[in-house]
Chains A and B, each alone.
Chain A
Amino acid sequence: MAEVLDVALRCVVVLAAFLVLPLAVGQLEHKTMAHMQSRVGPMYAGGFHGWAQLVADGVKFVQKEAVTPSAADRPVFALAPGVALVPYLVVLFVIPLGPSAVGADLDLGLFFALAVMSIGVLGTLMGGWASANKYSLLGGLRTASQLMSYELPMVLAAVSAAMMAGSLSLVGIAQAWEWSWLLWQLPALVVFVVAGLAELQRPPFDMPIADAELVLGPYTEYGGMRFAMFLLAEYAGIVVLSALTATLFLGGWRGPSSDELGWLWVLLKTMVVAFLVVWFRVAWPRMREDQLNALAWKILVPLALGQLALTTVVVLA
Chain B
Amino acid sequence: MTAVTVVFAALGVVTLVSAFLVVTSDQIVHAALWLVVTLGAIAGLYILLAAELVAWVQVLIYIGSVVVLLLFALMLTRAPSGPGSATATRNQPLAAVVAGAVTVGLGAVVWAGFGGEVIDEDEIRIGTAERLGDALFRTWVLPFEVLSVVLLAALVGAIVLTRKGAR
Contacts and interface: CB of A to CB of B under 8 A. Distances in A.
User: Do A and B share a complex?
Assistant: yes
B42 interface: no
A140 B68 CA distance: 10
Nearest to A132: B81
A118 B65 contact: yes
**B contact face: mostly helix, strand, loop, or mixed:** helix
A160 to B, nearest CB: 15
Contact of A122 (B68, B75, B76, B126): B68
Interface string B95-125: 0000000000000000000000000000000
A129 B67 contact: no
A111 B56 contact: yes
A145 B69 CA distance: 8
Interface in A61-96: 73, 76
Interface stretch (B10-18, B25-33, B144-152, B154-162): B25-33
A126 B56 CA distance: 22
A121 interface: yes
B140 interface: no
Contacts of A115: 56-57, 59-60, 63-64
Most buried by A among B27, B60, B128: B60
Interface in A103-121: 106-108, 111-112, 114-116, 118-119, 121
Interface residues of B, number: 27
Nearest to B60: A115
Contact of B68 (A112, A116, A121): A121
A132 B60 CA distance: 28
A147 B68 contact: yes
B27 A137 contact: no
B64 A107 contact: no
Contacts of A76: 29-30, 33
B137 interface: no
Nearest to A168: B129
B68 to A, nearest CB: 5
B59 A108 contact: no
A24 interface: no
B72 A141 contact: yes
B163 to A, nearest CB: 18
Contacts of B68: 118, 121-122, 125, 144, 147-148
B19 interface: no
Contacts of B27: 73
7 contacts: A73-B27, A76-B29, A111-B60, A115-B59, A118-B59, A144-B69, A144-B71
Interface of A: 73, 76, 106-108, 111-112, 114-116, 118-119, 121-122, 125-126, 128-129, 132, 137, 140-141, 144-145, 147-148, 151, 155, 168
